[in-house]
Amino acid sequence: MTTLDIQISIEDGAWAAEETLQALAETALDAAARFLVETEGQPFPETPPEVSLLFTDDETIRGINAEWRGQDKPTNVLSFPAFPLVPGGRPGPMLGDIILAEETIARESAELDKPFEAHLTHLLVHGFLHLFGYDHLESDEAERMESLETRILAGLGLSDPYGDSDPV
């Protein structure tokens, strides 16, 4: 299976060292890519496709969220596919961008009583699935996406991030 070309940029926030984030991202995203190929028949280009990760803070992601989604508030993760894809569609050489906010992720980790790295792994997988056209706007889409996330995370030894909650 093809691997991914993961490009990391740490802009703001109290993030771990770049090497630590790179290793975590490679583990999470390679597992997600392998899962999509093996269980969903997801095609990949021969050359490892690039995914860009921006690790930033609440202030930066709030501005991006306001500009692109009309929501003037921080969020944990945003994904911007390089090209529109539907699940199962063939991606190009650039998958897109995933932006993560350290303060929101840290706050949510504490509220959920989960290790920061486990929550970050979940959000990396969540953002990655968005790059492949998965979404959670409608209930049936949410169930499918959350099922994929849960199974990918289980393969990494992490618990179901949704527990007994309804899809959102």
- Placement of tokens 């501005």 in the chain: 63
Tell me if 69 sits within 8 A of 77, measured CB to CB. no
Residue 11's CB is within 10 A of a number of other CB atoms, namely: 13
Spell out the residues 6+ positions from residue 32 whose beta carbon is closer than 8 angstroms to its own.
124, 125, 128, 129, 152
How many CB atoms sit inside 10 A of residue 53's CB?
20
pLDDT of 62 over the 60 cut: yes
Whether residue 17 is predicted with pLDDT greater than 60 in this model: the reply is yes
pLDDT in the model for residue 12:
85
The predicted pLDDT at position 100 comes to: 98
pLDDT at 166 over 50: no
Residue 131's nearest CA partner among 167, 75, 93 is 93
pLDDT digits (tens, 9 = 90+) for 128-147: 999 999 998 778 888 999 99
Could you tell me the CATH superfamily of domain 5-155? Metalloproteases ("zincins"), catalytic domain (3.40.390.30)
Report pTM: 0.94
